[in-house]
Amino acid sequence: MSTSPSVIDTRRDQMFPVLEPFEIERLRRFGKVRRYDAAAALAKVGELGIGLILILSGQVEISRRDGLGHSTQIVTYGPGSFMGELAQLSGRPTLIDAYARTPAEALIISPDQLRALLIAEAELGERIMRALILRRVGLLETGAGGPVIVGRAGNGDVLRLEGFLRRNGHPRQRLDPDTDPEAKALIERFHVDPGELPIVLCPGGELLRNPSENELARCIGLVGPIDPNRVYDVAIVGAGPAGLATAVYAGSEGLTTLLLDCRAFGGQAGASARIENYLGFPTGITGMALMARAYNQARKFGVETAIPDEVIGLEAASGSGSGRFVLKLATNERVIARSVVIASGARYRQLAVDGLESFEAASVHYWASPLEAKLCAGQEVALVGAGNSAGQAAVYLASQVSKVWLLVREHVALPRRPHCGPLECGGVGEDHHHGRRRPRWDAGSNPVATRYWRGGASSNPTSVPVHRGGSQHGLALRLRRSLGRQGIRIDGCGRGRGPILSGDKPGGRVCYR
């Protein structure tokens, strides 16, 4: 369990600012006044939000509710406080409950007026935006307002759904059917066979049996229907860094913009444990944090999003719509736009290893986020490849797992220590594969492979405890750059001809051969 303090404790003042009377007056032009009787609901989990609600008089009780209906009070708002979090920027379903404790009067600022306010009122807008973001962070910490996933931690479908929600910055909870009495109660109540797990309980009470990401997204209101007659100025395919940058600039120029992605915002960059080379972040930033900033910035400028929605076709509109484009979606919907920007990025290259698919999502992953790190905590992990992503993953995982193996296919020259010699492919599985170019991945063996060989040679891999490093020596340029930037250095040669790496993750071990 995380021991880091909650954002509610550390940044309470920024999360729940109270506006001064003169500031409230400045905001009046953006909203409409509404009155509520005592005990009336201002917002309910799962219902579409009406926007930002600024309390003018009376008191309003805010509580979070988990998918099982347990309610916990977060805060009581009085005059000058405002209700809302990021969902209010685009009128998405609300993640909290709000009830008037006394008769109350409030200024309702609709999502489009809220976006106008954020741009027109620079200083106030910055404080409000920061509060909305921090409140979402608080909900993410507790999982409140999001769906409940019932399933085992290592199950591939559980990981798929958890990963999808995490990448989309949406709160969630997971209950283990083996240990959690509430999970057991849910399984009995809904007559769920073990083979139907995971199940997902949405905040609105709907139950989904092992849903697709699209089904889940629609159930929790992440994505809705697209107006087939609306003509967008710009439609952007892909919400990675390129698509998000396009969205921010198009939105800020006042163009009507739709941003589509078949998975989540952030693209590959969202999977990065730490981005060190992005302009303006001298201490580095996690890919997810960077991409979430860009995503919220795009929404602030009124960019509409359709995530997850896959684009499967593009054609020029005919007849009266000529000069426009039609995007066809996997849902059979269509999007009309005057211009289309395709920012669909790159596809991951997969390992040419037989039987790989049966391990994917459960024990073969294509990035190392906190979710994967938790999954293999205390175990040995093999990283295949030695580029930038592997360097990041090695450093990140070294502090979480018992040992990290780096498997490198190509010959790696060691300029400073030529006697270390070239390195060859590491194979995985219980069978030795002398001379075979395609190592066998034995689907019947333990899914977390425990033995690794150098192709054609048998030597014990070298490992050393990782400690804070000093100057950097060189591996091949690519490996040296990616590891060196992360604080890992090469100390010398190991018994198995591989160099010994050391870095700045106390307690972790990085092995290289």
Ligand X SMILES: Cc1cc2nc3c(=O)[nH]c(=O)nc-3n(C[C@H](O)[C@H](O)[C@H](O)COP(=O)(O)OP(=O)(O)OC[C@H]3O[C@@H](n4cnc5c(N)ncnc54)[C@H](O)[C@@H]3O)c2cc1C
Q: Establish if 272 lies at the interface with ligand X (CB under 6 A).
A: yes
Nearer to ligand X, 363 or 392 (CB): 392
Identify the H or E element spanning 484: helix 477-484
Cα distances (Å, whole numbers) of residue 384 to 54, 159, 462, 495, 512: 52, 21, 17, 21, 11
Nearer to ligand X, 65 or 263 (CB): 263
Alpha-carbon distance of 32 to 458, in angstroms, equals: 75
Q: Is 23 exposed, middle or buried (0-12, 13-18, 19+ CB in 10 A)?
A: middle
Tokens of 439: 């190592």
Closest approach of ligand X to the CB of residue 345, in Å: 2
State which of positions 198-237 bind ligand X (CB under 6 A).
Answer: 237
Site string for ligand X, 240-269 (x = CB under 6 A): xxxx----------------xxxx---xxx
Nearer to ligand X, 392 or 502 (CB): 392
Q: Establish if 499 lies at the interface with ligand X (CB under 6 A).
A: no
State which of positions 174-193 bind ligand X (CB under 6 A).
Answer: none
Nearer to ligand X, 113 or 168 (CB): 168
Sole window of 11-19, 274-282, 398-406, 447-455 interacting with ligand X (rule: CB under 6 A): 274-282
Alpha-carbon distance of 215 to 346, in angstroms, equals: 25
Closest approach of ligand X to the CB of residue 148, in Å: 26
Q: Establish if 169 lies at the interface with ligand X (CB under 6 A).
A: no
Closest approach of ligand X to the CB of residue 366, in Å: 7
Coil, helix or strand at residue 369: coil
Contact 426, 462 (CB under 8 A): no
Alpha-carbon distance of 90 to 114, in angstroms, equals: 9
Tokens of 510: 């990085």
Q: What strands lie across the sheet with 41-43, from one edge to the other?
A: 41-43, 96-100, 60-65, 71-77
Closest approach of ligand X to the CB of residue 241, in Å: 4
Nearer to ligand X, 192 or 259 (CB): 259
Nearer to ligand X, 239 or 475 (CB): 239
Contact 292, 269 (CB under 8 A): no
Identify the H or E element spanning 61: strand 60-65
Nearer to ligand X, 19 or 271 (CB): 271
Closest approach of ligand X to the CB of residue 393, in Å: 7
- What residue type is assigned to position 103 of the chain? P
- The residue within the footprint of ligand X, chosen from 389, 462, 463, 486 (CB under 6 A), is 389
Nearer to ligand X, 86 or 341 (CB): 341
DSSP-derived letter for residue 457 is B
Contact 73, 8 (CB under 8 A): no
- The residue within the footprint of ligand X, chosen from 344, 363, 400, 502 (CB under 6 A), is 344
- The residue within the footprint of ligand X, chosen from 3, 4, 179, 277 (CB under 6 A), is 277
Site string for ligand X, 33-62 (x = CB under 6 A): ------------------------------
Cα distances (Å, whole numbers) of residue 375 to 25, 352, 493: 51, 24, 31
Q: Establish if 286 lies at the interface with ligand X (CB under 6 A).
A: no
Size of the site for ligand X (CB under 6 A): 29
Secondary structure, 3-state, 411-427? CCCCCCCHHHCCCCCEE
Site of interaction with ligand X (CB under 6 A): 237-243, 260-263, 267-269, 271-272, 275-277, 310-311, 343-346, 367, 388-389, 392
